[in-house]
Structures are given as structure tokens and as C-alpha cells.
Structure 1
Amino acid sequence: MNNELTKQIFSLIKLNNKLIAVESPLQERIWLLTNLANECQQNNINCYLWTLEDDALHQLETNEFGLTLQTVDQYQAIAKIRRENYFEILRFWQTADLQGILILEGIFPWLGESTTDPDFFLTAEWIKSALINLKLYNCNAQKTAILLGPNASLSFDIAPEIPTLIQQLPTIEEISTHLPQVLPDYSADEIHATAIASVGMYLADIDYGIRQALAPEIKPLELVQKLSAYKIELFKRIYNIQFLQPPSTPIGGLELMQQAFKTYKRLLTTLAKAYNLRLPKGILLIGPPGTGKSYSAKACSAQLGLPLIILEWGNFRSYGNLAEYKLKNLLALIDRINRIILYLDDFDKGFAGDDDLSRRLAGMLLTWMQERTSEVLIIASANNIEWLPPELTRSGRFDEIFKVDLPNYGERHEIFKIHLARFDARFRHGGDGYTEPEWKRLLKATQRCVGAEIGAIVERAAVFTFCQMFSEDVLSVGELPPLEITLSALLTARQNMNPLAIREADRVESMRNKAALQGQASSPIDSSIYSLGNIDIFG
């Protein structure tokens, strides 16, 4: 466990690096410390640990029971009169006759970018100076200091002096090697299935998830399902994202976009790779709110059979100084999972402030999009394309830009049938409950309604119909009577709704016009029997 990271650390030590920064998540700490202590014992090197929490020095050793810590009496903590007194360990390690590896935990917050707090700034400068002195005074000694923490952010002035190693998420091969220790009775196929469900988690998280799921008589398939559910919940807590398996999502209209999705599926094949063909670097969906951009991302997930990560891009602004750290970890997660769709919802809202944080986040994303080798399809949605930096919309960033417009008559007909089928059995399996004249009346009445509003109209009509059928609670019902939504119920629901495209006509038309200048059509010209040709948009 963590063997690769341990090898990288000792490779840098052999190159006579006296300072090494290591970024490792807290849950993996015990494994990393155990591996370092093991490697040190095999090479007859002393290994010490200091933490900010107790300001005590311990020597690390391992035995058949695991990791042990022995207090080093030679180091005596001093009174904390000034902030730098908390880091007296740096001066001690510089002058003490001890040799080996010193692991320092809790020091990174003082090594990041500068702050306006003068007291904090002076402490940070003292620590940086003390670290540089470690390199100078111990250049010929067998001493190495490892700075350890979950976020190894270093300011530009000291970063060149300290090489940084980042513990990567384990590969599926590494997980498969680890799992037999936890699940000794599982077959090779069962281990492989469990490893696939575990991709994206650290080994400590996998162990915890398995312990939570294991129960007497639990079958391997049940364990995989519970582990997948645990992973989804973990991703939500750590990364604030939704992780969805490919859904079964019907979509009304947008045929041109759906054809493009089918093309992307072919680009994932081995044959396409043989011709050096690849997925687009990014797909941008632009248009007014409620027109089906988020729904289209789910439809793409269903079409390609790839999991979907939904990320509210604007949320990263709320993380402040941690935003870049959060984004870096999320992109590493996506790279490790591979063959996945990343959907950046409301992408434009992340740039509404036009501040330095927005530009840095955009720069990180662009660099990753340009350099990544993983098979990740990036889909972003935007209502106001003018908020996006110009460099994001040029060719080579988002290769495909689709205008997702207000649905035409034929598309509204399909959307209505999808939503009606949720409540009214007449519309399932290709069935229909209305005549052509009734459809024409309904579609004319819902002109300029978007898909989300059509869904709300149907749901309101279904509630009204239910209340009409059952005026009071029925405690015992044999065979339930069918719920048949009438045209009048839908028209009444429509009358009680004022669509956004009518309420905010100027804004919506501005969005549509700008989208038309930038994007290609996602729908063909309406050729359905309900098409009325050119109509007054404010009818």
C-alpha cells in the first residue's frame, strides 16, 4: 500500500534532497507512515515524526502488531511565547546529532501564498528561513525533512527549493492487489468486480466501505452494490458532486445533438483509436434556462453507457483559497476513473464575477482539457455565453457548441408524451390518448414553453386529476382506477403558469440570438404534422 509513493520519496532522498513535500490525504496517513517506517528499518535509517498538535518528537518503528511510536526525550518543547516557538523543532533538527528522516505534519498552512495578516506573515517567513537553513546546514549530513499534509501548497518563493510528491488515487491494478487481503474468500472475478466499484477511492476508504457493507451471508454482488452506494455518498461529501450511473433517460427532440452523441460512442471503440481518433475536448450547450441542457447531459450518459459526474461550476467560488486545491483533486479523480462524462452545470455562473479566482480556475481547467490523456467527455452548459472568457469558446477548447433552443411544435409533442407517460398509462409504449386536433390545441397553447415548464404543467394536471378522482382518503383500494389526464386539465395548468420566455422575453431573446451566433443547431427544422411554419413568437 502506497508503495509507489514510498519509492518516489526514497528516490528523492538518494538524490540528496534535504526537503521533500508530500501531499497525502488524512485517511491514508497510517499506511504511509507504516511504509516509510518499514523502508527505513530495512535500510537501517532512523525515522522520526513531529506533529504540530503535541509538539513532541517520536521515533517510528514497526513490528508484527503494526506501527509503534517511541518518545524521543532529547527533544524538549519550549514555552510558546511567540508563534515561531511552535516550530522550534526546525532549529532542533538543524543542530541535533540525530540522523535519518524527520516527518513534519501541520506546517503547510504557513508555506502557501502570502497573507495580509502581519503576524502570520512574519511566522511564515521565519519558517521558510528555517527550512532553507536545514538545507544549508545539513547538506553533508544524513538528514532529510519530509513535510507531510493533505494540501501541499507552496508559495512561489520556496516552491523551487522543495520537490513535491502527490499521492495519487490507486489504479484498478493496485486495488485488485490489495483486496484479497480484505476479502480472502473472493474469487478472481469477484475481486475484479469489487475493484471496478472501488475506483476513485483511496485504499483506506475502500477498507472502510467494505467494513460498513460486510454482514453475515452478504453476497459479492450485494457488496459491490453497497460499495458503489458508499462511493457515491463519499464523492458528494468530499467533492460536492453528483455521481450517476448511466440512466435510462428518454429525450424529446434535439435529434441533431443525439446523432452527435452516437458519433461519440463510436469514437470510444478500439477501431477509432487505431485511426488516432478521439472524443471532442469539450461540448458546450448554450441557450435559455429550462430548454433541456442538463437533461441532454443525462441522455448522453445513457447513449454512451458512461457514468456521469454533475458539478455546479459556480460552487468552486465558494471555496475561496481552497478552490484550486478542490479542483485539482477533482480532476485527478476524473482522470483515475476514466471513461466518464463530466457535466459542468451553469458553467457561465462561475465567471460572473470576472475576478482573479475565476481566471485561475479557468486556466486550470483549460490546461487539464488540453493535456489530459484520459477518455473523459466534458459537457458544459451556459445561459449567458457572454460571461465566458473568449479563450474558452475558441476552437480546440470546446470543439462542439450546440444551441439548445425553445422546443418546436414537434419536440413539445414528444416532451408532453414523455411526461404524460409517467402518470397516464395511455401514453406508454408508444400509445396516445389525444386526437390530432386536441394535440394542435395544446401545442399552440404551450408555445414558448420549455421542457421544464411542460413537465411542471403535466405534474400539476396529474395532481388536479388525482384530487378529482379521490376527494378524500381511501384506506382500502382494490384495483386502482387509471389516472387519465384530460386536455382541459393541461390547459388549466398552462393558464396558471407564465412561461419564462414570455415573462422575460427580452432577456430570453438576447440569449437565443447570442447562442445562434456561436452554436450549431441541436434540432432539425420541424417536419412533424404539428409544424405551423413561421409564427409570431409572442403569440
Structure 2
Amino acid sequence: MVMKTANKMSKSTETVLSELLKARFPFLYISTYEEERVLSVIRSVAADVNLIKTPRRVYTWRLTTGITDEFSQKVGDTAAPLKALEYIEKLDEAAVIVLQDFHIYFGGNGKLPDFHVIRKLRDMVIKLKLSPRPKNVIFTSPFLVLPNELQKDVTIVDFNLPTFEEIKSILNEMISVNEQAGRIRIHLMEEEKEQLVNAALGLTLSEAENAFARAMVEDGKLDVDDVDVILKEKEQIIKKTGILEFIKSDLRMEDVGGLENLKRWLQKRNRSWLDSASKYGLSAPKGVLITGVPGCGKSLISKAISSMWHLPLLRLDIGKIFSGIVGSSEENMREAIKTAEALAPAILWIDEIEKGFSGLGSNGDSGTSARIFGQFLTWMQEKSSPVFVIATANNIQSLPPEMMRKGRFDEIFFVDLPTKRERMEILKVHMGKRLHDASVVGSFEQSPETLSELADSTEGFVGAEIEHLVVSALFEAFSENRSITLADFERAIENTVPLSVTQAEQILAIREWANIRAITATPQEDRVDYNGAPPRKPEIPKPENNENNDIHAARGGRAIDF
């Protein structure tokens, strides 16, 4: 479906609207839920002699009232659509007539349009253009519904959600009112206020005001911790799309053992979407592609970024994008991107991205997969909104080379089998989560010596396997109603065959790929004396990249530390 669209990103809505009014475009269409805000903008433009030479009076039409003037006074019996259009046609003054929810006569959702209304609108096109006094008709509606007959005559005007400045103005006004009343305690630095405003981007003015009000009354104060309250309002938007999923994560970076190189990279880019970053000439980072051995923490750290950055985490399931209706898959991808950008700054997480685009190159879907993939890559390359994309992949070799090109992702990180130091951290994290009751802990001590001994025994284990062995050891103690012992952990280790053995060849292939294409998520100091395989089971062959077969060759990924 082809439609004329007035979409000039470099110009404000007011500027675009004024140009279209001056050029006497007969029919404009603005799709938005914010009726009062769009009417305020239309009235402002129509009365501003600096924007349009001939000021226009603004009339509005609703099914419940008919046409009313700027004083909300009815102007005749105009509730019926044809009566309203006849009144507009005969109106002898410069005017802008806003028809609210007129889309109900345009059909859609299996309903036929009102052909008498459609014909009347088409008859009016030339009369509006040649009218001695300029007249423009603007349709406003929450939905874009346009019959084929009107596609060449109606121009769509983008009406963006409130800007940073508009939301900040609302917040400042609410803070001022409540401070004067002495009802709410305000604890906000200027940068923290920016974080609250950024968290509210993507909401309408009404939604943002409601979110700030809820944050204030919840505990009688307003501070940076109320970002989470605002994100709850955003969750409602995500639930209504059906394509994106809002992920609630209580994970902190402290809950992720190891991967310090990746953590430092992320920490340095925290708050880079705030205005303070513009002083350094920085733009918000585009995203990272994280590949590596399954079960080593790729998904875990993706969830933890949301807590570190205080940003909403949106999960995109590529499978939900594809649909049986021709053309709907592309529309689903556009809708997902539009929603993510509306909620920016935000984090968009695509787990196991290689599975989502596995149909590339096949003819079974008439090229749909390739078009969706190309659409996503183009957006990644050109996006200016602060949507940070985290893509994880296990079988990185199945991804096309276009995905790895610079400009799509800021960096590609490789997550290998955890080193001894990382295994100690992972053991400490999972023991700390579960060993709270004194009767369960008994005489067992989480001493550095104990952690070191267990780490030595678990060489070649991935993080998920280490978590499982902690759980298995606790089940051993639970089944016998006694305290945990070191022997329980040792027994769980002996009963586990790690992925490094069962998938040795696949891990080697991933390492060889990452050796020159990715940066290791583990810092150099943690890779000292690392073998990469459990000592009591067959070792994973090490890539022979040089005559010394050093650590960098044994572990995939360039040895760059952040």
C-alpha cells in the first residue's frame, strides 16, 4: 500500500504542518492518541502569522457534538458526516477543520467504508484547493485507516511523542507545585532529573504526568530510584504490542561472575544517552553482539545491563515477527522498531539471533527472511535513537557477514569457558544466593581455599553447569536433612559431564572463529595459566595459531582489555 507521507525528521511537526497548510494540501491525516496535544499544536500553527501568512480559525468535529468553533459552540446540525462535509464545503472563511475519529467511515477490520462519505471527500479535493479562502481538513485518529480511494489525496503527517524538553517541563512544573505545597520530598540532582525524564520518553504527556504522580505518592518522595516506577508505565505499552516482551530483571552486575572486560566496557558507556555526554561529542552506543560457548552467561549479562543502566529491557522474538499473511512480517518488524524507538532510551535484546534468521538464502518464504533481515540491518546502521541492541549467538558462523560489519554493532565480544578466577566468582555468587540458613551451612566455609579447590575441579565447566552443581549438592544435603559438606559438591562435580567434553569440536570451531573477529569478554589478568579443559577428562584441542600455542590461541578472542 503506497501513501504520501510528510515525514521530515529534520523539521518539527509545527514546521511541516505550517508548510502543508500554506501549500493548501486539502486533506492531512495525523495518527495519535493525544487529542488535546495535537489540537494545541494545530491551533498554535493556525494562529501564528510567522508560520502561515493567513491565520485560520480552527473548527473541530466529533460524532457526539458535530462541528464546534474555538469556543466549543455548535455550528448547526452537523453530527452526520455528510452534513459536516457540506458545511465545510460552504464555509466562507480561512479555516482548519479537524475531524476527530473520522476513520470510522473509512472501513478496515473487515468493515466496508462508507462510499457516500468517500465520494464526497473526493468531490471536495478541487474545491478546497481552489477556494478563495484557504481551507484545510485534518483527520486525527489513534489509528491510521485510509481507504484505497483516498490514498492519493490524503497526506500523512507524523506526530511524534513528547520531546525531552516537553516532558522535562511537565516534571519541573509538578516538582514546583509539590515543593510549594510541602507534600513531597524532592531528592534529585540535575543529572538524576535527566534520568527520570529519559525514562519517561515514549510516553504521552498524560502518561508521563501519571507516572511522575505515581512515583511521588508511592513513598512521599521523588528520587532517581523512581525510574523503576516510570518503567512500569512503559511496560503497559509493550504488553499491547504483542511483538516485544518487557523483561523484568532483578539481576545486578554483581550477580554475574567474571566477564570483567565486558563489564568495564559497559560501565564506561553508562549514561552515554544523557545530555552530559554531548559535551564530549559522544552519541549513544549502538549495541554489542555477544557470542561464545552456550551456558557461559551471555543471556545473564544481557539482563543485568538493564539494572546497571536503569533502562527498560525489551526482548524481541524474531519468531513473532514472521506471520502467515503476506506483507505482515515486514509490518511487524516496523512496528517493533517503532515501539523500541518510542520507548528510547531502551535496551533491545535479541537472544540467539542466528536462529531467528536461519531462513536466509532459502526460497521457501519468498524472500521474507531476507527482507526482514535487510530491514533490521538498515535500521541498525542508520538509527539515531538511543536504542542499545544486545544480540547473543551460539552458532556465530551461521550469521551472514553483513551482521558483523562495523557500524552495525560497536563491538563483538566472545565469551569462552570461564577461567579459574571466574569459576571462583561464579561459585561464590551461587553459594551466596542459596546458603543463608545456619543449619544448612553448618561447618561448611566458603573460604578462598575451598573455592579454589572447587574451581580446580570444575575446569571446563560453563557457568550454567556450575550453578547446577551447587543446586545438586544442596539436594544431596536436603534429601538427608543435614548440613551441606564439601563432599556434596565434589560428588556433584564427579556426576557432571561438561559441555567442554560433549561439544569439544563445536567449542573449538567457535574459538577459531572468534580468535581474529571478536574481543574476549575476560580480561588478560584472568587468562593466566588457563588451560581451557577439565584436567580429569579428555582435553579440548588447542588451536595451533603459533609455535608457542599460547593462551591467546587457546582462548578465542583478541586480547584487548577495557
TM-score, scaled to structure 2 = 0.68
Q: How does 1:8-407 map to 2 (within 5 A)?
A: 8-24=16-32, 26=33, 28-33=34-39, 36=42, 45-49=57-61, 58-61=66-69, 68=72, 70=74, 73-74=77-78, 76=80, 100-103=96-99, 105=101, 107=103, 134-141=124-131, 142-152=134-144, 162-179=154-171, 185-187=177-179, 193=193, 195=197, 198-210=200-212, 215=217, 218-221=220-223, 224=226, 227-228=229-230, 230-238=232-240, 239-242=244-247, 247-261=252-266, 264=269, 276=281, 281-298=286-303, 305=309, 307=311, 309-314=313-318, 316-317=320-321, 320=328, 322-335=331-344, 337=345, 341-354=347-360, 356-374=367-385, 377-407=388-418
CA-CA distance at 1:167 after TM superposition: 2.5
Distance between the aligned counterparts of 2:523 and 2:105, measured in 1? 55
Tell me the residue number matched to 1:422: 433
Distance between the aligned counterparts of 2:76 and 2:271, measured in 1? 62
Structure 1 residues 273 and 232, CA, compared in 2 at 3 Å: closer, same or farther?
Answer: closer
Structure 1 residues 502 and 111, CA, compared in 2 at 3 Å: closer, same or farther?
Answer: farther
Which of 450, 463, 470 is the aligned partner of 1:434?
Answer: 450
Indicate if the aligned counterparts of 2:46 and 2:56 stay in contact, CA closer than 8 A. Answer: yes
Is 1:522 matched with 2:559?
no
Distance between the aligned counterparts of 2:356 and 2:310, measured in 1? 26
TM-score, scaled to structure 1 = 0.70
CA-CA distance at 1:41 after TM superposition: 8.8
SS in 2 for 1:401: strand
Distance between the aligned counterparts of 2:229 and 2:260, measured in 1? 37
Which of 438, 455, 474 is the aligned partner of 1:462?
Answer: 474
CA-CA distance at 1:202 after TM superposition: 1.3
Residue-by-residue CA offset, 1:21-65 (whole Å, 9 max, x unaligned): 2121x3x23443466468769956252335xxx6x77224465xx
Residue-by-residue CA offset, 1:475-500 (whole Å, 9 max, x unaligned): xxxxxxxxx64333224445665655
Distance between the aligned counterparts of 2:230 and 2:265, measured in 1? 30
Indicate if the aligned counterparts of 2:98 and 2:140 stay in contact, CA closer than 8 A. Answer: no
Structure 1 residues 415 and 364, CA, compared in 2 at 3 Å: closer, same or farther?
Answer: same
Q: Size of the alignment, in residue pairs?
A: 489
SS in 2 for 1:107: helix
SS in 2 for 1:395: coil
Structure 1 residues 513 and 90, CA, compared in 2 at 3 Å: closer, same or farther?
Answer: farther
Identity rate, percent: 23
Indicate if the aligned counterparts of 2:341 and 2:386 stay in contact, CA closer than 8 A. Answer: no
Structure 1 residues 485 and 132, CA, compared in 2 at 3 Å: closer, same or farther?
Answer: farther
Distance between the aligned counterparts of 1:211 and 1:107, measured in 2? 33
The 10-residue stretch of structure 1 (157-166 or 132-141) with the greater mean CA deviation from structure 2: 157-166
Matched letter for residue 139 of structure 1: K
SS in 1 for 2:57: coil
Distance between the aligned counterparts of 1:311 and 1:168, measured in 2? 23
Tell me the residue number matched to 1:474: none
Indicate if the aligned counterparts of 1:251 and 1:415 stay in contact, CA closer than 8 A. Answer: yes
Residue-by-residue CA offset, 1:299-348 (whole Å, 9 max, x unaligned): 55677x4535242342551674551342242342354x3xx544333333
Indicate if the aligned counterparts of 2:215 and 2:226 stay in contact, CA closer than 8 A. Answer: no
Indicate if the aligned counterparts of 2:46 and 2:58 stay in contact, CA closer than 8 A. Answer: yes
CA-CA distance at 1:128 after TM superposition: 8.1
Distance between the aligned counterparts of 1:240 and 1:454, measured in 2? 29
Matched letter for residue 139 of structure 2: L
Tell me the residue number matched to 2:547: none
CA-CA distance at 1:284 after TM superposition: 1.0
Indicate if the aligned counterparts of 1:306 and 1:341 stay in contact, CA closer than 8 A. Answer: no
Indicate if the aligned counterparts of 1:410 and 1:529 stay in contact, CA closer than 8 A. Answer: no
SS in 1 for 2:30: strand
CA-CA distance at 1:220 after TM superposition: 3.5
Indicate if the aligned counterparts of 1:235 and 1:241 stay in contact, CA closer than 8 A. Answer: no
Matched letter for residue 383 of structure 1: N
Distance between the aligned counterparts of 1:12 and 1:137, measured in 2? 17
Distance between the aligned counterparts of 2:164 and 2:530, measured in 1? 52
Structure 1 residues 333 and 407, CA, compared in 2 at 3 Å: closer, same or farther?
Answer: same
Structure 1 residues 328 and 150, CA, compared in 2 at 3 Å: closer, same or farther?
Answer: farther
Distance between the aligned counterparts of 2:353 and 2:146, measured in 1? 29
Structure 1 residues 495 and 278, CA, compared in 2 at 3 Å: closer, same or farther?
Answer: same
CA-CA distance at 1:124 after TM superposition: 11
Matched letter for residue 454 of structure 1: I
The 10-residue stretch of structure 1 (147-156 or 389-398) with the greater mean CA deviation from structure 2: 147-156
The 10-residue stretch of structure 1 (238-247 or 171-180) with the greater mean CA deviation from structure 2: 238-247
Structure 1 residues 266 and 38, CA, compared in 2 at 3 Å: closer, same or farther?
Answer: closer
Distance between the aligned counterparts of 2:468 and 2:66, measured in 1? 63
Tell me the residue number matched to 1:452: 464
Matched letter for residue 315 of structure 2: L
Distance between the aligned counterparts of 1:515 and 1:31, measured in 2? 51
Tell me the residue number matched to 2:553: none
Distance between the aligned counterparts of 1:201 and 1:352, measured in 2? 35
Residue-by-residue CA offset, 1:142-161 (whole Å, 9 max, x unaligned): 43232333354879997775
Distance between the aligned counterparts of 1:36 and 1:105, measured in 2? 16
Structure 1 residues 538 and 127, CA, compared in 2 at 3 Å: closer, same or farther?
Answer: farther
Structure 1 residues 131 and 310, CA, compared in 2 at 3 Å: closer, same or farther?
Answer: same
Distance between the aligned counterparts of 1:156 and 1:288, measured in 2? 52
Stretches of structure 2 that go unaligned for 5 or more consecutive residues are 1-11, 49-54, 181-185, 542-562
Indicate if the aligned counterparts of 1:94 and 1:138 stay in contact, CA closer than 8 A. Answer: no
RMSD: 5.0
Distance between the aligned counterparts of 1:438 and 1:330, measured in 2? 46
The 10-residue stretch of structure 1 (165-174 or 523-532) with the greater mean CA deviation from structure 2: 523-532
Indicate if the aligned counterparts of 1:48 and 1:57 stay in contact, CA closer than 8 A. Answer: no
Distance between the aligned counterparts of 2:78 and 2:359, measured in 1? 54
Structure 1 residues 533 and 177, CA, compared in 2 at 3 Å: closer, same or farther?
Answer: closer
Indicate if the aligned counterparts of 1:286 and 1:383 stay in contact, CA closer than 8 A. Answer: yes
Structure 1 residues 345 and 523, CA, compared in 2 at 3 Å: closer, same or farther?
Answer: same
